Structure 1
Amino acid sequence: MSSHHIVRDDQEPALIIANGAPCDAELLGQLLEWSPLVIVLDSAMERVAKLGIKVDVLLGDFDRDFDTEYYKQTQYPIEIVHTPDQEKTDLEKAFDYLIERKIPAVNVVWATGKRADHTITNITNIVQYRNRLKIVILDDHSKIFLLPNKFEKWYPADTIISLIPIGNVNGIHSKNLFYPLQGDSLTIGYRTGSSNHVVLDGIVTIEHQEGDLLLMECFD
């Protein structure tokens, strides 16, 4: 796996590599090629280093006798960020780091799979960063992000789209989805918009009045 390119003025999203299930090497390579900044959580660093990836920031609480000196030498120059706060996950701490650096957007890989509690937490926690950081979580089967109150995007017909509410979401309207939403409400655990799909090649519009609504572009 080659090292990433440096993109001028942080015009492209940063990349966070968490510690869930690995994604396809081609997806990871595409993201690395255009990421101006690569952050790796300490729990994933050994796996990442074995892939030959150049890391810009290593972040975590560094428990379990983690050897930061080794990576200072083998990944030089690298920024080591110690984040001992146990009230937040390491992924949340990485988001906070990007906000402090005024980086507006990030892609996240290796954040799903393996432990179900980590997957659910990583996906649902992105809602707290609304209006502060644009977050996209990717794996081999999904692209997940938080919707603004009005969302429009071109999709090819039959693209699988799932709408997952975090809590309760009201006043949802859609256009160009097979199962239309017309002022509907969705509530996690009771009614979600899973496994909808695009009717025709063209713009899909999704609007909602209140609540936190995730969109998942799904690939079987």
Structure 2
Amino acid sequence: MSSHHIVRDDQEPALIIANGAACNEELLGQLLEWSPLVIVLDSAIERVLELGIKIDVLLGDFDRGFDAEYYKESQYPIEIVHTPNQDKTDLEKAFEYLIEKGHKAANVIWATGKRADHTITNITNIVRFRENLKIVILDDHSKIFLLPNKFEKWYTKDSIISLIPIGEVSGIHSKNLFYPLQNDTLSIGIRTGSSNHVTEDGIVTIEHSKGNLLLMECWD
């Protein structure tokens, strides 16, 4: 697995590698190729090194009994960031690190699929950082991100789109979705917009007036 190396003035999203289910090598390679910065959470470091990936930052609470200093030689130059605060997840700390360093966007992989509690927490934490960091979570079957109040994007016919509210989201309108939304309200645990799909090739428009709405582009 090659390291990241094609970067345009640090405008591309940083890449965070968490410790959930691994994604396929093609997706990983594409993200590495365009990432100006690669952060690995400490719990995933051995899995990442087995793939031959060169990383920039190792971040975590280092509570698993390994010596973080060991990686300074094998991954030189590398920044070791010790974040012992147990009131936050390591992924939250990685988001805060990027904001502090002035980054505006982050792709996250290996953040889903192993434990349901970790997956739910990782996805919903997108909301907390929405004002400072554009976050996209990716795996082999989905791309997850938070929508602005008006969203427009070109999709092919039958693309699967799920709209998942964090809490309650109101005033939702859509165009070019098979199950249209017209001033609808979605509420987690009551009604969501799971497994909708695109009616025809073209622009999909989704608007909402209040709340935090996730879009999940899904494929089987």
1:36 and 2:23 equivalent?
no
- Give 1:8 deviation, angstroms: 3.7
1:216 paired to 2:216: yes
Letter in 2 for 1:18: A
What is the alpha-carbon distance in structure 2 between the residues aligned to residue 153 and residue 66 of structure 1?
Answer: 45
- What amino acid maps onto 2:158 in structure 1? D
What's the offset of the Cα at 1:6? 4.9
Unaligned 5+ runs, structure 2: none
Q: Distance in 2 between matches of 1:134 and 1:102?
A: 12
Q: Equivalent residue of 1:2, what SS?
A: coil
Hey, what does 1:123 align to over in structure 2? 123
2: CA distance, partners of 1:23 / 1:120: 18
Partners of 2:118 and 2:64 in 1: CA distance: 19
1:57-116 CA deviation, whole Å, 9 max, x = no partner?
A: 000000121211211111000000001111110000000000001100010000000111
- What is the CA deviation profile of residues 102-152 of structure 1, one whole-angstrom value per residue up to 9, with x for unaligned ones? 100010000000111000000011111112100000000000000000000
Q: What's the secondary structure of 1:158's corresponding residue?
A: coil
Question: What letter corresponds to residue 214 of structure 2 in structure 1?
Answer: L
Q: How far apart are residue 9 of structure 1 and its match?
A: 2.3
Q: Is the 8 A contact 2:43 2:64 kept in 1?
A: no
Write out per-residue CA displacement over residues 179-215 of structure 1, whole angstroms, 9 at most, x where no aligned residue. 0000000000010000000001000000000000000
After the TM superposition, which of the residue ranges 123-132 and 154-163 deviates more from structure 2?
123-132
Letter in 1 for 2:178: F
Helix, strand or coil at the partner of 2:169: strand
**Please, which runs of 5 or more residues in structure 1 have no aligned partner?**
none
Secondary structure, in 3 states, of the residue corresponding to 2:137? Answer: strand
For residue 133 of structure 1, what is the aligned residue in structure 2? 133
Segment drifting more, 63-72 vs 82-91: 63-72
- Name the Cα RMSD after superposition: 0.7
Q: Equivalent residues in 2 for 1:1-220 (5 A)?
A: 1-220=1-220
3-state SS of the aligned residue for 2:69? helix
Q: Distance in 1 between matches of 2:49 and 2:100?
A: 26
Q: Distance in 2 between matches of 1:166 and 1:101?
A: 28
Consecutive aligned runs of 4 or more in structure 1 exceeding 6 Å deviation: none
* Alignment coverage as a number of residue pairs: 220
Identity in percent:
82
Are the counterparts in 1 of residues 172 and 185 from structure 2 also a CA contact under 8 Å? Answer: yes
- In 1, Cα distance between equivalents of 2:79 and 2:8: 19
